[in-house]
A and B are shown apart, each in its own frame.
Chain A
Amino acid sequence: MNEKSTETLSVVVEREIPYPPEKIWRALTQPHLIEEWLMKNDFKPVVGHRFDLRADWGTVDCRVLAVEPNKTLSYTWEAHGLESVVTWTLTPSSTGTHLRIDQSGFRPDQQQAYQGAKGGWPRFFAALEQLLARTD
């Protein structure tokens, strides 16, 4: 677990995929392929590039933050007025690739404030989940 994900509220999904990183990278970065599993888009693997993901239910505004071919891809994800950062990490494994997606639910410019604050979000949420469990 990296420092960022322990200091912000985040969603992490991991999966072993029986294909090499190079092939998965193509599916993550080529617009006509992205459309097949995610949404219609005008993505370009260029840092700073702004793009939209378009679905029936609305549009997600995005900006590319980091591109390291076959290893890491990161972009902002703004929908319903909430900006988050989506980071893909590809790690070669004996059977193919360990694919990890991490979505952190806060603006990058706010993360420092959260990290500096005493009592980070994860502890806060852990405590509140316990409370919720009790009040149910």
Chain B
Amino acid sequence: MPYTHEVLFKTLADPTRRAIFERLCREGEQTVGALTARAGVSQPAVSKHLGVLKQAGLVLDRHEGRQTHYSAQPGALAPLIDWTSQMAGFWQSRLDDLEDLLKRMDQ
């Protein structure tokens, strides 16, 4: 998946979804009910956000009786960190070429 960062950007663009993911990162595994109590949106909405997060590989679900527990998978964020370092590397090498060009230019 060459453009994983694109999926992650889109998944985390929604502030409510990002807040749910942050809470799971900070506080560990939780049920949909516990997340809903503090999310400020309805349980179906929370479930939908969790489904999107799961598709992006950012959360895992675990069924126990009638409850589903969700946990964060922060390792799935690595491609986003990679994006910034890749772009920084890209611009450093472009600036090297720019400096070479400036040496060759008149004035």
Contacts and interface: CB of A to CB of B under 8 A. Distances in A.
Given A37-B97, A117-B15, A81 B6 contact: yes
Interface in A51-101: 80-82, 99, 101
Contacts of A117: 15, 18
A127 B9 contact: no
Chain A interface size, under 10 / 10 to 19 / 20 to 34 / 35 or more: 35 or more
Nearest to B9: A82
A37 B94 contact: yes
A27 B80 CA distance: 31
A127 B105 contact: no
B100 interface: yes
A99 B95 contact: yes
Contacts of B19: 118-119
B8 to A, nearest CB: 10
B78 A132 contact: yes
Interface stretch (B41-49, B61-69, B84-92): B84-92
Contacts of A38: 94, 97-98
Interface in A15-52: 15, 17, 19, 23-24, 26-27, 33, 36-38
Interface of B: 2-3, 5-6, 9, 13, 15, 18-19, 22, 25-26, 74-75, 77-78, 80-81, 83-84, 87-88, 91-92, 94-95, 97-102, 105, 107
Interface of A: 9, 11, 13, 15, 17, 19, 23-24, 26-27, 33, 36-38, 80-82, 99, 101, 103, 105-106, 110, 113-114, 117-119, 124-125, 127-129, 131-132, 135
